[in-house]
Amino acid sequence: MDAKPWRERVRDEEQLLEQLNRLASEAAARRAEALREGVAELGSRAEVARDLGRSWQAVDQALRRDDRKRASAQDASTTE
């Protein structure tokens, strides 16, 4: 069985990485939305963190990251 040429393998792996990055980004956005629902229900990021057994910094960081991503996406769509 002939192996694929290295250029083709690199191209295939780059496509896979792009797909995985997109899926990870979508999962992070869904997670942030769930965390926001938790904050609405429990009242604070710290309470959500306690409930999940995580540090409040992890919850805060996930939400801030998503806020920045949303803001940059919104800026990009309004500058056309």
Quote the CA–CA distance of 5 and 7 in Å, as a whole number: 6
User: Within 10 Å of residue 35's Cβ, how many Cβ atoms?
Assistant: 21
Whether residue 12 contacts residue 4, with contact meaning beta carbons closer than 8 Å, is answered with yes
Each residue of 32-73: pLDDT tens digit?
A: 999 999 999 999 999 999 999 999 999 999 999 999 999 998
pTM of the model: 0.80
In this predicted structure, the answer to whether residue 1 has a pLDDT above a threshold of 80 is no
What is the predicted pLDDT for the residue at 47? 98
What is the predicted pLDDT for the residue at 38? 98
Question: Residues near 3 by Cβ (< 8 Å), separated by ≥ 6?
Answer: 9
Amino acid residing at 27: A
